[in-house]
Amino acid sequence: MAFPKLDSEQAGFSCLGYTIVSPCSNAITTMQPQADPFIVPPCHEQINIVYQDEFLLLINKPSGLLSLSGKHPLNKDSVHWRLVKGFPTATMVHRLDFGTSGLLIIALNKQVNGHLTRQFQDRSVTKTYTALLHGHVSKDIGSIDAPIAKNHANFPLQKICSVSGKSAVSHYEVIERLEEPFATRVVFKPESGRTHQLRIHSQVLGHPILGCDLYATDEAFFMAKRLMLHAQSIEFDHPITGERMSMVSPCPF
């Protein structure tokens, strides 16, 4: 799978080869109504451990489960909350959004956590995601280079901003174009790991992820009962043995 890289443009961003000059935009108004406080619906699906040794776990997170417990006492259930019952030293190395399913690495001691964290910082960890995007994406392969910043005026949204945003690049390849639902199945390979990166980059592309409550149109949101985003594969160096680890989680949709 070959992903071309687009050069970022000063005071703008690149998408499908076009540069859109927009230094900082708050023009994101598609968020679904958010309950305050937000109480997570019960998640009855179990965490599946796909790899385990004395140093780390690789788990498959179900959609609808937090990675870390929320501040509200009713949002206690999470990947971390469940795992520490059986693995008291377990710590999160990275996270997936509440609605995203798929692979997560869990460290079982501080040394391992630190080593894996550095791999993420050095971008030596590679990940792919499968997503269903609204409509038909015209090009078979492409990249989105658009810096992401917090949208303080519209929490919890992020925004595209070349002034205060951090570099964010997502490559994609079309797998199939569907008529029912009217959608495109793509594989994403992000270079960076910004909050909501694939969700907001899909919106930039003009094809939001189905079921996305933050960045999709009403039509795209109601076309799926969950966020149609799955962390399908991950590769990293084992922090103790140095072996290159590669795991795949079949997409559930």
Res 49 pLDDT > 60: yes
Whether 78 is covered by a domain: the verdict is yes
Whether 1 is covered by a domain: the verdict is no
Encode pLDDT of 96-119 as tens digits: 999 999 999 999 999 999 999 999
Rounded to two decimals, the pTM is 0.88
Average pLDDT for 180-200: 97
Whether 26 is covered by a domain: the verdict is no
Catalytic (active-site) positions: 97
Task: Please name the residues in contact with 245: beta carbons below 8 A apart, sequence gap of 6 or more.
Answer: 51, 58, 234, 235, 236, 237, 238
Structure tokens at 239: 């922090």
> For residue 218, what are the CA distances in angstroms to 164, 241, 246?
29, 48, 37
Amino acid identity, position 103: L
Question: What band does 206 get if pLDDT is binned at 50, 70 and 90?
Answer: very high
Q: Following DSSP, what letter does each residue of the chain receive, concatenated?
A: -----PPP-TTSEEETTEEE--SB------PPP--SS--PPP--PPPEEEEE-SSEEEEEEPTT-BSS--SSGGG--BHHHHHTTT-TT-EESS---TT-EEEEEEESSHHHHHHHHHHHHHT--EEEEEEEEES--SSSEEEEE--EEE-GGGTT-EEEBTTTPBP-EEEEEEEEEETTTTEEEEEEEESS--TTHHHHHHHHHT-PBTT-TTTS-HHHHTT-SS--EEEEEEEEE-TTT-PEEEEE-----
Contact 169, 102 (CB under 8 A): no
Average pLDDT for 68-89: 96
- Report the chain's C-alpha Rg in angstroms: 18
Whether 253 is covered by a domain: the verdict is no
Whether 122 is covered by a domain: the verdict is yes
CATH number of the domain encompassing residue 233: 3.30.2350.10
Whether 181 is covered by a domain: the verdict is yes
Q: How many other C-beta atoms can be found within 10 angstroms of the C-beta atom of residue 81? A: 14
Q: How many domains does the chain have?
A: 1
By CB atoms closer than 10 A (0-12, 13-18, 19+), residue 40 is middle
Whether the ω angle into residue 73 lies within 30 degrees of 0, i.e. cis, is: no
Segments forming the whole domain that contains residue 105: 15-21+47-248
Whether 178 is covered by a domain: the verdict is yes
Res 171 pLDDT > 60: yes
Encode pLDDT of 4-24 as tens digits: 333 333 334 444 433 333 456
Whether 33 is covered by a domain: the verdict is no
Question: What band does 124 get if pLDDT is binned at 50, 70 and 90?
Answer: very high
